Amino acid sequence: MVRIKDIAKEAGVSPTTVSNVIHGNTKKVSKANIDKIQRILEKNQYIPSMSALMLAENRSRLIGVLIGEREGKRRSIASDPFTSVILNSLELEIYRQNYYMLFHLANSQEESWKLAATWKVEGLITLGLSSEENLELSEKCQIPLVSIDNYYGEKKVANIGLQDFEGGYAMGKFLAEQGHKNILFLADNDVGVDHERWLGVQKAVEEHGAEGAAAGRRIMPENRELRKAWLEDSLEDLKSRDVLFFASDFYALEAIHFLQDKGVDIPGDVSVAGFDDSPYAEICRPEITTVRQNIMKKGQEAVKRLICLIQEEEFKGQERLPVEVVVRDSVKQKPL
């Protein structure tokens, strides 16, 4: 590996001068030397050593991307097709901003902190951590942190998410306008994101629902096996609804198959809607009517937000990305 010292020797100048040329501080370097040094740099394929840079500048150009793994959660990296897309967009933007991505599956706050400290990571992006975990981590690490898809009452941690309320509202409005009265919203929890979506649905039904329209809600188990049992138990309830609006396409898909196996026609007997517009939504029959989010954009904004935090600049982007209803085949129009 060729070092600045080597270049300097070959050029017959001091390391400082070479360093200056590398960093474009060419005001105090003679034209002749600039050219000569640049040529030698090129020729020898000089690559700066991050270790030395880190030590000297006390910064790493590293951004840590942490994914929390919780057993049985929907947002498990293994089962969620979103994860790879998010990771993709994250790395793309991180690299574009001249940073590097250190990736880790976070098992504990302690571990995450150690990683960040060991590498002097300049900022953290987290996925799949709970609000409390994010807060604790942020306080412990004392470096900028941006979470994705997390909600806080008091908003202590920077977050990039969706216009979930608006998404719930838009779909609720669409369903109401399609003539559905008995709407059931299904999620696996009632905090943050899913809570917002539910509020949106309620508001939409209030404002746009026909005479007698009402929105109900059910919380399903997170665990797959338990959820399966839950669906069995809830069959009659589900069949009695006009439309089932699931908080994710994955759940919608699961339910569609469950119901179809029970002889229920979708959307003939019951309509189904999802949320996310994941690959699952299009790769099933009927194709799922859902709420689309732009995941690439989400990752991009998260990185931009973080960089602003790191450089102590103001973030002018969107913290809540817009969503839109995508009409496919799983919701049918009710005759009036």
Partner DNA sequence: ATGAAAGCGCTAACAA
Partner DNA sequence: TTGTTAGCGCTTTCAT
Residue closer to its own copies, measured from CB, 39 or 257: 257
Distance, in Å, from the CA atom of 77 to the CA atom of 99, rounded to the nearest integer, reads 23
Residue closer to DNA, measured from CB, 17 or 293: 17
Q: What is the 3-state secondary structure (H, E, C) of 84-110?
A: HHHHHHHHHHHHHCCCEEEEEEECCHH
Q: Does 70 bind its own copies (CB under 8 A)?
A: no
| Selection from 117, 118, 115, 89 nearest residue 103 by Cα | 115
| Selection from 200, 162, 193, 168 nearest residue 320 by Cα | 162
Look-up: residue for tokens 């200056």? Answer: 20
| Selection from 101, 108, 70 nearest residue 87 by Cα | 101
Residue closer to DNA, measured from CB, 55 or 105: 55
Strand 243-246's sheet: what is its strand order? 214-219, 182-187, 243-246, 271-273
Among 22, 29, 34, 85, binds its own copies (CB under 8 A): 85
Contact 15, 41 (CB under 8 A): no
- The continuous run of DSSP H or E covering 213 comes out as none
Specify the stretch interacting with its own copies by CB under 8 A; choose among 89-97, 169-177, 232-240, 319-327. 89-97
- At a CB cut-off of 8 Å and minimum separation 6, what does 240 contact? 182
Q: Does 279 bind its own copies (CB under 8 A)?
A: yes
Distance of CA 194 to the CA centre of its chain: 15
Site for its own copies in 24-43 (CB under 8 A): none
Q: Does 20 bind DNA (CB under 7 A)?
A: yes
Site for DNA in 38-77 (CB under 7 A): 46, 48-49, 51-53, 55-58
Q: Does 16 bind DNA (CB under 7 A)?
A: yes
CB of 215 to its own copies, least distance (A): 27
Residue closer to its own copies, measured from CB, 104 or 297: 104
Q: Does 262 bind its own copies (CB under 8 A)?
A: no
Q: Does 29 bind DNA (CB under 7 A)?
A: yes
Q: Does 15 bind DNA (CB under 7 A)?
A: yes
Residue closer to DNA, measured from CB, 1 or 78: 1
Is the bond preceding 267 in cis, omega lying within 30 degrees of 0? yes
Residues near DNA (CB under 7 A)? 1, 3-5, 12-17, 19-20, 22-23, 27-30, 32-33, 46, 48-49, 51-53, 55-58
- Residues contributing to the site for its own copies (CB under 8 A): 1, 47-52, 54-55, 60, 65, 77-81, 83-85, 87-88, 91-92, 95, 100-105, 114-115, 117-120, 253-254, 257, 260, 279-280, 283-285
